[in-house]
């Protein structure tokens, strides 16, 4: 029972993160702003709105 519950919670969290990411990208495009992320090594990467 606990294993299934943890799996459901994890799936809900991942779905929420995906929804947030989609909304963030739409907002950045609409306002013509850069999306700033970091790679695995901690290097900052700036992505212009027109490349999203």
- Entry pTM: 0.72
- Residue 1: pLDDT band (50, 70, 90) is low
Q: What range defines the domain where residue 37 resides?
A: 2-51
Would strands 44-47 and 35-38 be described as parallel, antiparallel, or unpaired? antiparallel
Count structural domains, the chain. 1
User: What spatial distance separates the first Cα and last Cα of the chain, rounded to whole Å?
Assistant: 41
Q: From residue 9, how far is each of 6, 18, 21, 43, 50 by CA, in Å?
A: 5, 14, 18, 31, 35
**Rounded-to-10 torsion of CA 28, 29, 33, 37:** 60
pLDDT one-digit tens code per residue, 21-46: 999 999 999 999 999 999 999 999 99
């Amino acid at each position: 029972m606990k294993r299934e519950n943890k799996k459901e919670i994890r799936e809900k969290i991942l779905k929420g993160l995906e929804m947030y990411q989609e909304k963030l990208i739409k907002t950045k495009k609409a306002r013509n702003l850069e999306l700033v992320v970091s790679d695995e090594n901690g290097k900052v990467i700036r992505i212009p709105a027109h490349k999203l």
